[in-house]
A and B are shown apart, each in its own frame.
Chain A
Amino acid sequence: MQGSSRLVSRLVLTLFVLWTVATILFLIFRLMPGSPLAAFVSPTFTPEQQDSLRRQFGLDRTLFDQYLLFIGNLLQGNLGESFFYKRPVGEVVMTAFANTIALTLGSLIVAYTFGVLMGAMFAWKRGTRVEAVGIPIVLVTRAAPEFWLGMVLLAIFSFGLGWFPGGGANSAGQSFSSEWARIFSLDFLRHLILPATALALYLQGLPLLLMRTNMLEVMQEDFVTMARMKGLSNWAIVIRHAARNALLPVATAFALGIGQSVGGNVVVETVFSWPGLGRMLVDAVAASDYPLAQGAFLLITTVLVTMNFVADLLYSLLDPRIAHAGHR
């Protein structure tokens, strides 16, 4: 009972946050210098296109009417026409989204697998030289700018050794039967490895440190002492009891990580010319393609807010104590 009412209130909060961000975005693009038309109509559009957009978004009406239309269109997925691509923003944004998700999930899975294993190892080796050397190295990888890591990887492995392509998501001239075939092609994988490595290097620190701290805490809990008294081997305790409980916050961090990376990938996507959402946002802002910039930003926000909600759900699902603890 309590669990479901908590779920509903989190859901309401999520929708509230999305609505507020959309409103702030509407205001930002209306406050911009130039006529209000500038946010949706490019002078390069044909007169018919301009008329149609003016009607769709009520650009000759009051600000409040425009706001209602904006929200209404948004709910139907209509974000206007991209100035540059001359196509609906929704369509343009979704193709980039597939590339971003592939990059994000690829790097997160590598980073979390590595981080969890190493974190458990560091907890086990607490107080040894392995830890004394390892922890500062992990802190350094967390401090390195992702795009700089990417630049160094590019210089060494792409331009220096020639092992990997220097950018993009697919070689020129390749054609695929479907979007799925493209993403699971060997060519795509070859392009994915360097940017995903740059991201994973940066991302692995968080699960590693989380896992280590959790393991250290869990190892002191009563049920571990109990298992020890039952005469279970160290290995059995770590795998069957400690690791499982230590993984809970890491799972939550993974969900949060998806949401944050989709927006945070902006720089890595730019370094590797990866045709993803972040690079699209940068290009759209640089080229004053306002509808596209709004669309890309809203999609990034939606992913972030949704994943925050999922992480919250996961946390209460995996840890029943939270469900009864009320607000944090």
Chain B
Amino acid sequence: MPVTAEPSAVRGGGRGRFAAVGRAFALVRRDPFATAGVLIYTVFLTIAIFADQLATHDPNQILYRPNGRVASNLPPFAQHILGTTNLGRDIYSQLVYGARSALIVGITAAFAVVMIGTLVGLVAGFFRGFVDMVMMRIADVALGIPFLPFVIVLSSFLEPSMWNVVIGMALVVWPSTSRVIRSQVLSLRERTFVEAARVTGSSPFRILFVHIAPNVLPLSFVYGSIAVGWAILTEASVSFLGFGGGDTVSWGSMLQNAYASQALSRGWYHWFVPPGVCIILVVVAGFFVSRGFEEVLFPRLRD
């Protein structure tokens, strides 16, 4: 890719093992974008954790009016904060529970992608040779697989579930992380502090995981914070297409329901706008946080 990370970020790598990580967090606090990103994440995390307390209704429950008829298509701001769906379900409560499934999928997928990507990058870059060659060819194949269609095909032989997105991402999305990590490791392994560790008799694995790994962790965080958003976007797309889990309430499935129930032609904006705004906020938060990390990684952009 045209954009490659300059090794300048890890200049002081030898001094403190986790100095780079510490500096990354310190900078995130100073960068307004990154602060906003962390703030948005915190809000959604809180909503996801306390969904049971925050929701006013069971998101799947069909509600009835006092006269016994289904409470369908109620307008927002009356008894229901965001109104109800055409089947009498509370939209606000669905939105709150949607945050939970979005974050579960987003964080698990990001963790899987970054773990695999970082490990492959570390091992391939450090050991070079045959291992490197095999791993990078696998990465080439994974980069040649169209991601969303792959998740769709996966769901044709796995049970439809939101975990398909996590599996799909773990299988296909790691190469971009591992390529960048690998190129960092290639330059790090020639540094004096690695040479010093080698001379003093550290084992290769000790050098790799104690001396080199902490220096590439900030990069992994960048890719992780972007991957969270990407996973949430993908989960929404997959649910929208009808391949998500059956009963799980997610922002994507809310949008699918709204679309299928003609909410667009009837102008029920209060139904399909909020889930989209939530998705945008979470994904943008990932961009903002990664931007904060980039300030650490691409210092010359600050001039």
- Which residues of A come within 8 Å of B, CB atoms? 13, 16-18, 20-21, 24-25, 28-29, 31-33, 136, 139-140, 142-145, 147-148, 151-152, 154-155, 158-160, 166, 210, 213-214, 216, 248-249, 252-253, 260, 262-264, 266-267, 270-271, 278, 281-282, 285-286, 288, 290, 293, 296-297, 300-301, 304-305, 308, 315, 328
Contact = CB atoms under 8 A, between A and B. Distances in A.
Interface string B214-235: 0000000000000001000100
A104 to B, nearest CB: 13
Given A210-B2, A263-B149, A145 B279 contact: yes
10 contacts: A29-B157, A32-B157, A143-B284, A213-B3, A248-B2, A262-B146, A293-B156, A297-B153, A308-B144, A328-B183
Nearest to B241: A282
Given A17-B141, A143-B283, A152-B273, A159 B267 contact: yes
Contacts of B140: 13, 16-17
Interface string B236-275: 1100111100000000000100110001111101001101
A13 to B, nearest CB: 6
B233 A264 contact: no
Contacts of B145: 21, 24, 301, 304
A148 B266 CA distance: 16
B193 interface: no
Given A293-B153, A297-B153, 19 more contacts: A13-B140, A18-B144, A20-B144, A139-B284, A143-B283, A144-B280, A145-B240, A145-B279, A147-B236, A148-B276, A151-B264, A152-B276, A249-B3, A266-B241, A281-B152, A282-B152, A285-B156, A300-B149, A308-B144
B137 interface: yes
Given A148-B272, A210-B2, A263 B156 contact: no
Nearest to B287: A139
B81 to A, nearest CB: 20
Contact of A286 (B154, B183, B242, B280): B242
A151 B272 contact: yes
A145 B237 contact: yes
Interface string B158-185: 0000000000000000000000000100
A145 B236 contact: yes
B189 to A, nearest CB: 16
Given A33-B157, A282-B152, A297-B149, A270 B241 contact: yes
Contact of B287 (A142, A300, A305): A142
Contact of A140 (B233, B284, B301): B284
Contact of A155 (B153, B237, B269): B269
Contact of A263 (B148, B229, B266): B148
A16 B144 CA distance: 10
Interface in B109-163: 137, 140-141, 143-150, 152-157
